[in-house]
Amino acid sequence: MATVSANKSIIFDLDGTIWNSIIYRIKAWQLAFKDYGIDTDPEVIRLMIGYPGSMLIKKMNARDPAIEKREEMYFEKMLPDVKFYPDVEGTFSQLRNMGFKIAIVTSSRRDMIEKINVHAEAIVTMDDVEKGKPDPEPYKKAIKIMDGTPERTIVVGDIDNDLVPAKLLGCVAVLVSHGTQKRAEHKDYEISEIGDIIKIIETLKWR
């Protein structure tokens, strides 16, 4: 009897990877911290986007976890201006035609994700796990939902924090730069735009 191959799976980060939200996230965090009398450096915030909000709060020497809720309030007001990158919808369609199941793994909260129009076979948020990225737990959960295996899973993210758990699990790690200069020690490949992932997949020759 022939062995059935595991599903082909691909996991995308959200903020800064498929969603052009970084500048809005930075502004929302600045406003939230300002409400608590804390001045912030936007570059420090930018480097922490993609990590759990609790880690950013700690880095700013703040203690009140309610700051994260404040950031979400400000960010929600900006949602009409936040867009998916232009090639995301077409690329997702191509990936499904190639037999891939798609997951979104994000450090955002579940109630925020429910406010945006994103379609995936699996969506894993901070509220769905005990430990967020760079812990592998969110990726393990997404792969399980998709009935996949790490060896047949690609992870696409815009910072090294997205790729660390991918390499720990044995997934293919892909950095997307969107035309900016980025450093990532754990990448297997780098692409400029989301649509370029198709070329990477063709070199893998997965069936």
Q: Known catalytic residues?
A: 13
**Starting from the edge strand earliest in sequence, which strands make up the sheet with 7-12, in order?**
122-124, 100-105, 7-12, 148-157, 172-176, 189-191
Please state, in angstroms and as integers, the Cα–Cα distance from residue 174 to each residue in 23, 31, 153, 169, 204, following that order: 22, 32, 11, 14, 13
What is the full DSSP assignment across 14-81? SBTTTB--HHHHHHHHHHHHHHTT----HHHHHHHBTB-HHHHHHHTT---THHHHHHHHHHHHHGGG
Q: Which residues of 95-128 are buried (b: 16+ CB within 10 A; e: fewer)?
A: beeeebbbbbbbbbbeebbeeeebebbbbbbbeb
